[in-house]
Copies of this chain bind each other. A is one copy, B any other.
Amino acid sequence: MTTIKDVARMAGVASSTVSCVLNDKGNVSEPTRIRVLEAASQLNYVRHGPASELKRNSTQTIGIIVHDMSSPYFSDLVNGIETVVMSHGYDMIVCSSLGGEKSTAHRYIRERRIDGAIVIAQNIQDQLLIEASEAGFPIVVMDRDLDAQHIVKVLMSDTQGGYLATRYLIDKGHRTIAYISGPSQSECNLHRYQGYLKALKEAGIEENPEWKIGGQYMKQDGYDAAKKLLEGELPSAVFFANDEMAIGGLEAFREHNISIPEQLSVIGFDNIPASQYMNPPLTTFRQPKRDAGQLAGHVLFQLLNGEIVETLYTLDIQCVERDSVRLLNLS
């Protein structure tokens, strides 16, 4: 392994000079600069990261914490973060929080192997985050309700999303709207539901308990829910708490020859890739993930620079209008 000393020796200067040249620091005359650079490239020198990190007490990298790598859900988010991290000359790595205390995420945060973190994972303990942030480690959490002094939250509000989705249907003239819910432990489902209720109330519509059916966010649940709906009086629109269930629902309706959107309007939530391939293409709502990622990145760097920032940022949900909703004649 070739070190800074080898380069120094070859260029006939001190190792400190080499360091200055390589880091563009301070005052080095052009001739020595060149000599050093040449020696370095001759010897194929690359700095040893950990040594540099130790000395600087900074890793110049920020970590994205995800609950497991398998979720395509995070793609856009991570992409948004990446652009801003790169523009700051920093590195970015993704760490999984799978494995609790022994997870890479835990270790990297606690051992200072990253300079800051954006937390997407929901399953990492508040404890760790609070402790770390109190020790001066900057943290931004996404879509998580964590109140702690030094932690910044970025939310893509599901409550507002549920509200907007329902409003959308109401604005199209629908007054009888079913809600097919996700798992009752799911916070985001809860929020979407609350938004739904709010919109209903605002429009002076009573909730009909028969039109609230529970599911687990899976396609099959949507299918089952639709079947159940078909047993009673049909509403004019159905709000599925996520696209996957909506897709299952579409299938059930097709089996019963209910044509969408002529006889029944359907919306989903999330805008998963498959939603556009449906027949009809599914109208759904999407979170502005890329923007949220960029925002989170910006805020993190502000934190890193010791700037004062808001402690909560909220982004608006967006409507992806396709062909599964019908405009009702308003009487």
Contact = CB atoms under 8 A, between A and B. Distances in A.
A71 B75 contact: yes
Contacts of A91: 95, 104, 107-108
B75 A219 contact: no
Contacts of A53: 50, 53
A69 B75 CA distance: 6
A70 interface: yes
A99 B86 contact: yes
A33 interface: no
Contacts of A278: 277
A7 to B, nearest CB: 15
B76 A112 contact: no
Nearest to A243: B277
Interface residues of A, number: 53
Contacts of A213: none
A78 interface: yes
Residue of A47, A94, A278 most packed against chain B (CB within 10 A): A94
Contacts of A69: 74-75, 78-79, 82, 94
A209 interface: no
A51 interface: yes
